Structure 1
Amino acid sequence: MKRIIPLLALVLFFSCQNSAQTNKKQEAIINAEPVQVPITNGKAKAYFASGCFWCVEAIYESVKGVEESISGYSGGHTKNPTYEASNTGRTGHAEAVEVIYDPKVVSFETLVDVYFASQNVTQVNGQGNDIGSQYRSIIFYQNEAQKQIILKKKEALAKKLNAKIAAEVYPFQKFWKAEDYHQNYERLHPNNSYIRNVSIPRLNRFKAKFPKELLKKGH
Protein backbone atom coordinates (compact mmCIF):
# COMPACT_ATOMS: atom_id res chain seq x y z
CA MET A 1 0.00 0.00 0.00
CA LYS A 2 2.87 2.37 0.83
CA ARG A 3 4.22 1.88 -2.69
CA ILE A 4 0.82 2.33 -4.36
CA ILE A 5 0.04 5.68 -2.75
CA PRO A 6 3.23 7.45 -3.92
CA LEU A 7 2.70 5.94 -7.38
CA LEU A 8 -0.88 7.19 -7.48
CA ALA A 9 0.25 10.62 -6.37
CA LEU A 10 2.86 10.65 -9.13
CA VAL A 11 0.26 9.71 -11.77
CA LEU A 12 -2.11 12.42 -10.55
CA PHE A 13 0.74 14.96 -10.53
CA PHE A 14 1.66 14.34 -14.16
CA SER A 15 -2.01 14.16 -15.17
CA CYS A 16 -2.66 17.57 -13.66
CA GLN A 17 0.56 18.90 -15.16
CA ASN A 18 -0.42 17.69 -18.65
CA SER A 19 -3.89 19.20 -18.22
CA ALA A 20 -2.37 22.53 -17.21
CA GLN A 21 -0.04 22.46 -20.21
CA THR A 22 -2.97 21.70 -22.51
CA ASN A 23 -4.99 24.57 -21.06
CA LYS A 24 -2.08 26.97 -21.56
CA LYS A 25 -1.71 25.84 -25.17
CA GLN A 26 -5.43 26.32 -25.76
CA GLU A 27 -5.35 29.76 -24.13
CA ALA A 28 -2.55 30.72 -26.49
CA ILE A 29 -4.77 29.82 -29.46
CA ILE A 30 -7.70 31.83 -28.11
CA ASN A 31 -5.51 34.89 -27.43
CA ALA A 32 -3.46 34.76 -30.62
CA GLU A 33 -3.50 37.34 -33.39
CA PRO A 34 -5.86 36.27 -36.19
CA VAL A 35 -4.47 34.98 -39.46
CA GLN A 36 -5.87 36.69 -42.55
CA VAL A 37 -6.51 34.35 -45.47
CA PRO A 38 -5.97 36.22 -48.78
CA ILE A 39 -8.61 36.34 -51.49
CA THR A 40 -7.57 34.03 -54.33
CA ASN A 41 -9.08 34.20 -57.82
CA GLY A 42 -11.83 36.40 -56.42
CA LYS A 43 -12.79 33.87 -53.75
CA ALA A 44 -12.59 34.44 -49.98
CA LYS A 45 -12.61 31.87 -47.18
CA ALA A 46 -14.44 31.79 -43.85
CA TYR A 47 -14.42 29.24 -41.04
CA PHE A 48 -17.22 27.97 -38.81
CA ALA A 49 -17.83 25.12 -36.34
CA SER A 50 -21.31 24.08 -35.21
CA GLY A 51 -21.58 20.37 -34.64
CA CYS A 52 -21.04 17.58 -37.15
CA PHE A 53 -19.27 18.92 -40.22
CA TRP A 54 -21.34 16.66 -42.49
CA CYS A 55 -24.34 18.83 -41.57
CA VAL A 56 -22.60 22.20 -41.72
CA GLU A 57 -20.92 21.49 -45.05
CA ALA A 58 -24.30 20.83 -46.71
CA ILE A 59 -25.89 23.91 -45.15
CA TYR A 60 -23.29 26.34 -46.47
CA GLU A 61 -23.30 24.76 -49.92
CA SER A 62 -27.02 25.57 -50.15
CA VAL A 63 -26.25 29.31 -50.03
CA LYS A 64 -25.81 31.44 -53.15
CA GLY A 65 -22.26 32.65 -53.60
CA VAL A 66 -20.72 29.68 -51.78
CA GLU A 67 -18.56 27.74 -54.20
CA GLU A 68 -17.59 24.94 -51.85
CA SER A 69 -17.55 23.92 -48.22
CA ILE A 70 -14.77 21.67 -46.95
CA SER A 71 -14.88 19.58 -43.77
CA GLY A 72 -11.99 19.72 -41.33
CA TYR A 73 -10.74 20.69 -37.90
CA SER A 74 -9.87 24.03 -36.32
CA GLY A 75 -9.59 25.83 -33.01
CA GLY A 76 -7.20 23.44 -31.27
CA HIS A 77 -3.58 23.35 -30.20
CA THR A 78 -2.34 20.15 -31.90
CA LYS A 79 -0.91 19.76 -35.39
CA ASN A 80 -2.33 17.43 -38.05
CA PRO A 81 -5.44 16.41 -36.07
CA THR A 82 -7.32 13.30 -37.19
CA TYR A 83 -10.96 12.34 -36.78
CA GLU A 84 -10.04 9.81 -34.10
CA ALA A 85 -7.81 12.26 -32.21
CA SER A 86 -10.31 15.12 -32.28
CA ASN A 87 -13.03 12.83 -30.98
CA THR A 88 -11.09 12.35 -27.75
CA GLY A 89 -11.70 16.01 -26.94
CA ARG A 90 -8.03 16.45 -26.00
CA THR A 91 -6.80 18.22 -29.12
CA GLY A 92 -8.84 21.38 -28.57
CA HIS A 93 -10.09 21.15 -32.16
CA ALA A 94 -13.72 21.27 -33.23
CA GLU A 95 -15.20 19.84 -36.39
CA ALA A 96 -15.25 22.85 -38.69
CA VAL A 97 -15.83 23.87 -42.28
CA GLU A 98 -13.88 26.04 -44.65
CA VAL A 99 -16.37 28.04 -46.70
CA ILE A 100 -15.05 29.20 -50.07
CA TYR A 101 -17.26 32.03 -51.34
CA ASP A 102 -17.56 34.94 -53.72
CA PRO A 103 -17.68 38.13 -51.59
CA LYS A 104 -19.36 39.95 -54.51
CA VAL A 105 -22.34 37.59 -54.19
CA VAL A 106 -22.50 36.79 -50.47
CA SER A 107 -20.99 38.75 -47.60
CA PHE A 108 -19.23 37.49 -44.49
CA GLU A 109 -22.07 39.07 -42.53
CA THR A 110 -24.60 36.87 -44.33
CA LEU A 111 -22.47 33.79 -43.70
CA VAL A 112 -22.63 34.62 -39.98
CA ASP A 113 -26.42 34.85 -40.30
CA VAL A 114 -26.39 31.38 -41.90
CA TYR A 115 -24.32 30.15 -38.97
CA PHE A 116 -26.75 31.30 -36.30
CA ALA A 117 -29.84 30.29 -38.30
CA SER A 118 -28.67 26.71 -38.77
CA GLN A 119 -28.13 25.48 -35.21
CA ASN A 120 -29.37 25.36 -31.66
CA VAL A 121 -27.56 28.51 -30.58
CA THR A 122 -27.83 27.84 -26.84
CA GLN A 123 -26.49 24.27 -26.77
CA VAL A 124 -23.02 24.09 -25.23
CA ASN A 125 -20.46 21.53 -26.46
CA GLY A 126 -22.62 19.93 -29.08
CA GLN A 127 -25.57 19.91 -31.44
CA GLY A 128 -28.43 17.54 -30.77
CA ASN A 129 -27.10 14.14 -29.76
CA ASP A 130 -23.57 14.94 -30.95
CA ILE A 131 -22.00 15.82 -27.62
CA GLY A 132 -18.43 16.85 -26.80
CA SER A 133 -15.98 19.70 -27.23
CA GLN A 134 -15.24 18.51 -30.76
CA TYR A 135 -18.85 19.47 -31.62
CA ARG A 136 -18.84 22.85 -29.91
CA SER A 137 -19.81 26.03 -31.72
CA ILE A 138 -17.03 28.42 -32.76
CA ILE A 139 -16.99 31.35 -35.18
CA PHE A 140 -13.55 32.29 -36.44
CA TYR A 141 -12.59 35.85 -37.35
CA GLN A 142 -9.65 36.92 -39.50
CA ASN A 143 -9.63 40.63 -38.72
CA GLU A 144 -11.17 43.19 -36.39
CA ALA A 145 -14.03 43.99 -38.77
CA GLN A 146 -15.15 40.36 -38.83
CA LYS A 147 -14.81 40.11 -35.07
CA GLN A 148 -17.11 43.09 -34.55
CA ILE A 149 -19.71 41.68 -36.97
CA ILE A 150 -19.74 38.42 -35.00
CA LEU A 151 -19.89 40.05 -31.57
CA LYS A 152 -22.70 42.44 -32.54
CA LYS A 153 -24.82 39.66 -34.04
CA LYS A 154 -24.17 37.40 -31.08
CA GLU A 155 -25.14 40.16 -28.63
CA ALA A 156 -28.31 41.01 -30.59
CA LEU A 157 -29.33 37.35 -30.68
CA ALA A 158 -28.74 36.98 -26.94
CA LYS A 159 -31.04 39.94 -26.29
CA LYS A 160 -33.68 38.66 -28.69
CA LEU A 161 -33.77 35.20 -27.10
CA ASN A 162 -32.98 36.40 -23.58
CA ALA A 163 -30.45 33.58 -23.40
CA LYS A 164 -26.72 32.98 -23.44
CA ILE A 165 -25.40 32.14 -26.90
CA ALA A 166 -23.04 29.16 -26.83
CA ALA A 167 -20.84 30.11 -29.79
CA GLU A 168 -17.24 30.86 -28.93
CA VAL A 169 -15.38 33.53 -30.90
CA TYR A 170 -11.82 32.62 -31.90
CA PRO A 171 -9.11 34.31 -33.93
CA PHE A 172 -8.56 32.10 -36.96
CA GLN A 173 -5.20 30.29 -36.91
CA LYS A 174 -5.27 27.25 -39.17
CA PHE A 175 -7.70 24.89 -40.83
CA TRP A 176 -6.81 21.22 -41.14
CA LYS A 177 -8.68 19.42 -43.91
CA ALA A 178 -10.44 16.25 -42.75
CA GLU A 179 -9.96 12.82 -44.24
CA ASP A 180 -11.21 12.38 -47.82
CA TYR A 181 -14.11 10.14 -46.81
CA HIS A 182 -15.68 13.02 -44.86
CA GLN A 183 -15.86 15.37 -47.85
CA ASN A 184 -19.29 15.93 -49.48
CA TYR A 185 -20.64 13.24 -47.19
CA GLU A 186 -24.26 14.34 -47.29
CA ARG A 187 -24.31 14.46 -51.10
CA LEU A 188 -22.46 11.18 -51.61
CA HIS A 189 -24.29 9.16 -48.93
CA PRO A 190 -27.95 10.24 -49.06
CA ASN A 191 -29.13 6.89 -47.69
CA ASN A 192 -26.85 6.89 -44.66
CA SER A 193 -29.05 6.75 -41.53
CA TYR A 194 -27.32 9.74 -39.89
CA ILE A 195 -27.69 11.79 -43.06
CA ARG A 196 -31.39 10.87 -43.39
CA ASN A 197 -32.25 11.39 -39.73
CA VAL A 198 -29.98 14.26 -38.71
CA SER A 199 -28.21 16.09 -41.55
CA ILE A 200 -31.10 16.45 -44.01
CA PRO A 201 -33.69 17.46 -41.36
CA ARG A 202 -31.22 20.07 -40.03
CA LEU A 203 -30.64 21.39 -43.57
CA ASN A 204 -34.38 21.56 -44.22
CA ARG A 205 -35.06 23.40 -40.95
CA PHE A 206 -32.48 25.98 -41.93
CA LYS A 207 -33.86 26.40 -45.47
CA ALA A 208 -37.40 26.79 -44.15
CA LYS A 209 -36.55 29.91 -42.15
CA PHE A 210 -33.78 31.52 -44.24
CA PRO A 211 -34.65 34.03 -47.01
CA LYS A 212 -35.27 32.04 -50.19
CA GLU A 213 -33.56 34.62 -52.39
CA LEU A 214 -30.27 33.83 -50.65
CA LEU A 215 -30.49 30.07 -51.30
CA LYS A 216 -29.58 28.04 -54.36
CA LYS A 217 -32.41 26.38 -56.22
CA GLY A 218 -32.72 22.62 -56.14
CA HIS A 219 -30.07 21.98 -53.47
Structure 2
Amino acid sequence: MGNTDTIESFVSKLKTEGVEQGKKEAAQLSSQAEQQAAQVVADARAQADKIIADARAEAERILSRGRTELELASRDSVLKLRESLVKATELVLTRPVDAQLKEAQFLKDLIQTIVLRYVEADLQGSSSVKINISPEMQKQLSDWAVGKLRTAAQSGSGGIDLQQNLRQAGFEVSVRGATVEITTASVVETLMQLVGPSLRQILSQANQKRESK
Protein backbone atom coordinates (compact mmCIF):
# COMPACT_ATOMS: atom_id res chain seq x y z
CA MET A 1 0.00 0.00 0.00
CA GLY A 2 2.77 2.34 0.85
CA ASN A 3 4.66 1.62 -2.32
CA THR A 4 1.60 2.27 -4.42
CA ASP A 5 1.15 5.71 -2.86
CA THR A 6 4.77 6.52 -3.46
CA ILE A 7 4.57 5.60 -7.15
CA GLU A 8 1.34 7.54 -7.66
CA SER A 9 2.81 10.52 -5.87
CA PHE A 10 5.91 10.36 -8.02
CA VAL A 11 3.87 10.11 -11.22
CA SER A 12 1.71 13.02 -10.11
CA LYS A 13 4.81 15.04 -9.37
CA LEU A 14 6.24 14.27 -12.79
CA LYS A 15 3.01 15.30 -14.44
CA THR A 16 2.91 18.51 -12.49
CA GLU A 17 6.52 19.33 -13.23
CA GLY A 18 6.02 18.42 -16.89
CA VAL A 19 3.04 20.70 -17.21
CA GLU A 20 4.89 23.53 -15.53
CA GLN A 21 7.93 22.97 -17.70
CA GLY A 22 5.73 22.87 -20.77
CA LYS A 23 4.03 26.08 -19.78
CA LYS A 24 7.40 27.68 -19.13
CA GLU A 25 8.80 26.58 -22.48
CA ALA A 26 5.63 27.67 -24.25
CA ALA A 27 5.89 31.08 -22.62
CA GLN A 28 9.52 31.35 -23.73
CA LEU A 29 8.64 30.32 -27.26
CA SER A 30 5.78 32.80 -27.32
CA SER A 31 8.05 35.58 -26.05
CA GLN A 32 10.72 34.73 -28.62
CA ALA A 33 8.11 34.64 -31.36
CA GLU A 34 6.78 38.03 -30.30
CA GLN A 35 10.31 39.46 -30.23
CA GLN A 36 11.07 38.03 -33.66
CA ALA A 37 7.78 39.34 -35.02
CA ALA A 38 8.50 42.79 -33.57
CA GLN A 39 11.98 42.71 -35.10
CA VAL A 40 10.55 41.70 -38.48
CA VAL A 41 8.04 44.56 -38.30
CA ALA A 42 10.77 47.00 -37.26
CA ASP A 43 13.04 45.81 -40.06
CA ALA A 44 10.19 46.08 -42.54
CA ARG A 45 9.40 49.61 -41.38
CA ALA A 46 13.07 50.61 -41.60
CA GLN A 47 13.30 49.13 -45.08
CA ALA A 48 10.10 50.90 -46.12
CA ASP A 49 11.39 54.21 -44.72
CA LYS A 50 14.66 53.73 -46.62
CA ILE A 51 12.82 52.96 -49.84
CA ILE A 52 10.64 56.05 -49.39
CA ALA A 53 13.67 58.23 -48.58
CA ASP A 54 15.58 56.89 -51.59
CA ALA A 55 12.55 57.45 -53.80
CA ARG A 56 12.18 61.02 -52.57
CA ALA A 57 15.89 61.70 -53.08
CA GLU A 58 15.76 60.27 -56.60
CA ALA A 59 12.63 62.27 -57.37
CA GLU A 60 14.37 65.42 -56.13
CA ARG A 61 17.42 64.65 -58.27
CA ILE A 62 15.23 64.09 -61.30
CA LEU A 63 13.31 67.29 -60.59
CA SER A 64 16.53 69.26 -60.07
CA ARG A 65 18.04 67.81 -63.23
CA GLY A 66 14.83 68.63 -65.06
CA ARG A 67 14.96 72.23 -63.82
CA THR A 68 18.59 72.55 -64.90
CA GLU A 69 17.89 71.06 -68.31
CA LEU A 70 14.86 73.31 -68.67
CA GLU A 71 16.91 76.38 -67.76
CA LEU A 72 19.64 75.39 -70.21
CA ALA A 73 17.07 74.71 -72.92
CA SER A 74 15.45 78.07 -72.23
CA ARG A 75 18.82 79.82 -72.36
CA ASP A 76 19.69 78.05 -75.60
CA SER A 77 16.33 79.07 -77.04
CA VAL A 78 16.94 82.72 -76.17
CA LEU A 79 20.44 82.60 -77.70
CA LYS A 80 19.12 80.93 -80.85
CA LEU A 81 16.31 83.48 -81.03
CA ARG A 82 18.81 86.32 -80.64
CA GLU A 83 21.05 84.82 -83.32
CA SER A 84 18.08 84.35 -85.65
CA LEU A 85 16.91 87.92 -85.08
CA VAL A 86 20.39 89.30 -85.72
CA LYS A 87 20.75 87.31 -88.93
CA ALA A 88 17.25 88.25 -90.06
CA THR A 89 17.91 91.92 -89.30
CA GLU A 90 21.23 91.84 -91.15
CA LEU A 91 19.49 90.26 -94.13
CA VAL A 92 16.71 92.85 -94.06
CA LEU A 93 19.26 95.68 -93.91
CA THR A 94 21.73 94.19 -96.39
CA ARG A 95 19.37 93.90 -99.35
CA PRO A 96 18.27 97.55 -99.60
CA VAL A 97 21.73 98.89 -98.69
CA ASP A 98 23.40 96.70 -101.31
CA ALA A 99 20.82 97.67 -103.92
CA GLN A 100 21.25 101.39 -103.13
CA LEU A 101 25.04 101.23 -103.33
CA LYS A 102 24.80 99.54 -106.73
CA GLU A 103 22.93 102.50 -108.22
CA ALA A 104 25.43 104.45 -110.29
CA GLN A 105 23.78 107.85 -109.90
CA PHE A 106 23.48 107.52 -106.13
CA LEU A 107 27.13 106.50 -105.92
CA LYS A 108 28.20 109.41 -108.16
CA ASP A 109 26.47 111.95 -105.93
CA LEU A 110 27.86 110.42 -102.75
CA ILE A 111 31.43 110.14 -104.04
CA GLN A 112 31.36 113.67 -105.41
CA THR A 113 30.13 115.06 -102.08
CA ILE A 114 32.88 113.30 -100.12
CA VAL A 115 35.64 114.14 -102.60
CA LEU A 116 34.64 117.82 -102.65
CA ARG A 117 34.73 117.87 -98.85
CA TYR A 118 38.25 116.48 -98.91
CA VAL A 119 39.32 118.95 -101.59
CA GLU A 120 37.90 121.86 -99.60
CA ALA A 121 39.66 120.67 -96.44
CA ASP A 122 42.98 120.16 -98.21
CA LEU A 123 44.50 123.60 -97.72
CA GLN A 124 47.66 122.79 -99.64
CA GLY A 125 45.70 121.24 -102.48
CA SER A 126 48.43 118.74 -103.21
CA SER A 127 46.88 115.49 -102.05
CA SER A 128 45.86 112.80 -104.49
CA VAL A 129 42.38 111.36 -103.99
CA LYS A 130 42.20 107.59 -104.41
CA ILE A 131 38.77 106.12 -105.12
CA ASN A 132 38.37 102.36 -104.92
CA ILE A 133 35.22 100.82 -106.42
CA SER A 134 34.11 97.44 -107.77
CA PRO A 135 35.05 96.37 -111.32
CA GLU A 136 31.36 96.42 -112.28
CA MET A 137 30.89 99.99 -111.08
CA GLN A 138 34.20 101.11 -112.60
CA LYS A 139 32.77 100.55 -116.06
CA GLN A 140 29.93 102.98 -115.28
CA LEU A 141 31.94 105.60 -113.40
CA SER A 142 35.29 105.75 -115.17
CA ASP A 143 34.39 108.50 -117.67
CA TRP A 144 32.53 110.46 -115.02
CA ALA A 145 35.41 110.18 -112.55
CA VAL A 146 37.97 111.24 -115.14
CA GLY A 147 35.86 114.19 -116.22
CA LYS A 148 33.73 115.69 -113.50
CA LEU A 149 35.74 114.75 -110.42
CA ARG A 150 39.02 115.91 -111.90
CA THR A 151 37.35 119.15 -112.90
CA ALA A 152 36.08 119.55 -109.34
CA ALA A 153 39.59 118.97 -108.03
CA GLN A 154 41.30 121.35 -110.43
CA SER A 155 41.59 124.00 -107.75
CA GLY A 156 44.51 122.02 -106.31
CA SER A 157 47.39 120.13 -107.80
CA GLY A 158 46.19 116.74 -106.54
CA GLY A 159 44.73 114.17 -108.89
CA ILE A 160 42.06 111.48 -108.94
CA ASP A 161 43.20 107.86 -108.80
CA LEU A 162 40.31 105.54 -109.69
CA GLN A 163 40.87 101.89 -108.78
CA GLN A 164 38.70 98.79 -109.11
CA ASN A 165 39.80 96.48 -106.29
CA LEU A 166 36.65 96.55 -104.18
CA ARG A 167 34.82 93.21 -103.87
CA GLN A 168 31.44 94.57 -102.80
CA ALA A 169 29.02 97.35 -103.56
CA GLY A 170 30.03 100.85 -102.50
CA PHE A 171 33.38 102.63 -102.51
CA GLU A 172 36.41 103.70 -100.53
CA VAL A 173 37.92 107.18 -100.68
CA SER A 174 41.48 107.66 -99.42
CA VAL A 175 43.22 111.01 -98.98
CA ARG A 176 46.51 111.61 -97.14
CA GLY A 177 46.35 108.21 -95.40
CA ALA A 178 42.75 108.61 -94.22
CA THR A 179 40.12 106.31 -95.71
CA VAL A 180 36.35 106.59 -95.73
CA GLU A 181 34.62 103.29 -96.44
CA ILE A 182 31.04 103.35 -97.68
CA THR A 183 30.28 99.71 -98.47
CA THR A 184 27.44 97.30 -97.85
CA ALA A 185 29.31 95.73 -94.93
CA SER A 186 30.27 99.02 -93.25
CA VAL A 187 26.81 100.56 -93.62
CA VAL A 188 25.04 97.42 -92.34
CA GLU A 189 27.47 97.23 -89.41
CA THR A 190 26.68 100.83 -88.47
CA LEU A 191 22.95 100.23 -88.78
CA MET A 192 23.20 97.05 -86.66
CA GLN A 193 24.82 99.08 -83.89
CA LEU A 194 21.82 101.39 -83.98
CA VAL A 195 19.32 98.53 -84.11
CA GLY A 196 21.14 96.43 -81.46
CA PRO A 197 19.65 98.12 -78.36
CA SER A 198 16.14 97.72 -79.77
CA LEU A 199 16.76 94.01 -80.41
CA ARG A 200 18.04 93.52 -76.85
CA GLN A 201 14.95 95.28 -75.50
CA ILE A 202 12.65 93.06 -77.55
CA LEU A 203 14.44 89.92 -76.31
CA SER A 204 14.35 91.15 -72.72
CA GLN A 205 10.62 91.81 -72.87
CA ALA A 206 9.98 88.42 -74.47
CA ASN A 207 12.06 86.72 -71.76
CA GLN A 208 10.19 88.53 -68.98
CA LYS A 209 6.84 87.47 -70.43
CA ARG A 210 8.02 83.86 -70.63
CA GLU A 211 9.21 83.84 -67.00
CA SER A 212 5.97 85.40 -65.74
CA LYS A 213 3.89 82.54 -67.18
Give the TM-score normalised by the residue count of structure 1: 0.26
Query: Which structure has more helix as a fraction of its residues?
Result: 2
Query: Which structure has more strand as a fraction of its residues?
Result: 1
Greater RCO (Cα-Cα under 8 Å, separation 6 or more): 1
Structure whose CA Rg is larger: 2
